[in-house]
């Protein structure tokens, strides 16, 4: 199945023409290639491709895990189940280690990517939402307009990036993250938008609107919640998109 979509802004009043023009200029088209099954038990917080495998992390207390996903069936082979006091958040894989955030517990966990055995922990002062990396530093979101770059030795913040639109407005509620060809892609919490961020200056350089996919997920499965999940496959330059309790994941390519 091949469908093309584009995001276009809408004008609410006479003073919004400039905002509409900016929004239109940032619109990115994408092609929907296929759909895959997704586990409707998964309150998706993180999604990542590693070593030709799809890993997914989930949230909610007593319902948080990291799993290797069977892409044909969408089912999870649960490898890491968090203690009930932890609310799991985003994951990423760097240097053969899986890094996992927790929501308000101010602690992240590190696992060996081959065995899934826990090999460390790290602390942070903010909430933990999404996480990715640029092949050097971890990049973390906390639900604000800020992204935090952490070193991989002491897990200390080495840089804070403020994310803004072209007019200087702050882009808040940044959630699940994915690093794609030199840019940071971020879900905007409780919206159907993913924004493309220049990591050099924090400016938004593109927007993807996945309202069509969100609406389809909610129409298909009554418990489906918001969009949250971006996994980049470097082998074929595609993104796998899904959401919390969604019945499907969607393979797309940005035009």
Q: How many CA atoms lie within 13 A of 81 on its CB side?
A: 6
pLDDT score of 6: 41
**How many whole angstroms separate alpha carbon 206 and alpha carbon 146?**
17
CATH class of 3-254: mainly beta
Dihedral angle sign, alpha carbons of residues 177, 183, 133, 154? negative
Which tokens hold the place of 223?
Answer: 């418990």
Whether 150 contacts 156, CB under 8 Å: yes
What CA–CA distance (Å, rounded) separates 186 from 157?
19
pLDDT for 23 equals 58
The torsion region of residue 16 among left (phi > 0), alpha (psi -120 to 50) and beta comes to alpha
Q: Tell me 116's DSSP state.
A: -
Domain edges within the chain:
3-254
Looking at residue 17, its pLDDT comes to 43
In the block, tokens 């969408």 appear at 74
How far, in Å, CA of 120 to CA of 178, rounded?
Answer: 23
Specify the pLDDT at position 25: 83
Classify each residue of 156-193 as buried b or exposed e, where b means 16 or more C-beta atoms within 10 Å of its C-beta: eeeeebebbbeeeeebebbbbbbbbeebbbbbbbebbb
Record the tokens describing residue 39, joined without a space: 């586990």
Q: Which pTM was predicted?
A: 0.90
| DSSP-H helix ranges across 133-176 | none
The full length of the chain comes to 255
**pLDDT of 186-210, one tens digit each?**
999 999 999 999 999 999 999 999 9
pLDDT truncated to tens, each residue of the chain (255 aa)?
344 444 333 333 434 444 444 457 899 999 999 999 999 999 999 999 999 999 999 999 999 999 999 999 999 998 899 999 999 999 999 999 999 999 999 999 999 999 999 999 999 999 999 999 999 999 999 999 999 999 999 999 999 999 999 999 999 999 999 999 999 999 999 999 999 999 999 999 999 999 999 999 999 999 999 999 999 999 999 999 999 999 999 999 998
> What's the CA gap between 217 and 225, in Å, rounded?
8
Within 10 angstroms of residue 227's Cβ, the number of other Cβ atoms is 27
State the sign of the Cα–Cα–Cα–Cα dihedral 132, 133, 134, 138. Answer: positive
**Beta strand pairing call for 131-133 and 118-123:** unpaired
């Amino acid at each position: 199945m091949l469908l093309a979509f584009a995001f276009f802004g809408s004008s609410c009043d006479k003073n919004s023409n400039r905002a509409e023009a900016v929004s239109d200029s940032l619109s990115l088209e994408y092609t929907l290639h296929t759909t895959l099954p997704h586990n409707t038990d998964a309150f998706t917080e993180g999604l990542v491709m590693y070593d030709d495998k799809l890993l997914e992390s989930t949230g909610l207390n007593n319902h948080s895990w990291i799993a290797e996903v069977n892409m044909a069936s969408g089912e999870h082979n649960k490898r890491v189940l968090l203690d009930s006091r932890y609310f799991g958040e985003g994951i990423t894989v760097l240097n053969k280690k899986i890094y996992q955030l927790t929501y308000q517990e101010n602690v992240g966990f590190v696992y060996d990517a081959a065995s899934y055995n826990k090999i460390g922990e790290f602390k942070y002062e903010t909430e933990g939402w999404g996480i990715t990396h640029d092949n050097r530093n971890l990049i973390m979101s906390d639900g604000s307009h800020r992204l935090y770059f952490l070193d991989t030795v002491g897990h200390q913040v080495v840089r804070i990036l403020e994310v803004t639109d072209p007019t200087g407005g702050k882009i808040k509620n940044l959630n699940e993250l994915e690093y794609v060809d030199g840019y940071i892609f971020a879900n905007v919490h409780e919206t159907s938008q993913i924004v493309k961020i220049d990591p050099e200056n924090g400016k938004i350089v593109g927007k993807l609107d996945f309202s069509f996919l969100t609406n389809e997920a909610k129409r298909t499965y009554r418990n489906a919640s918001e969009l949250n999940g971006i996994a980049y496959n470097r082998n074929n330059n595609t993104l796998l998109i899904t959401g919390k309790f969604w019945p499907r994941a969607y393979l797309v390519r940005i035009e």
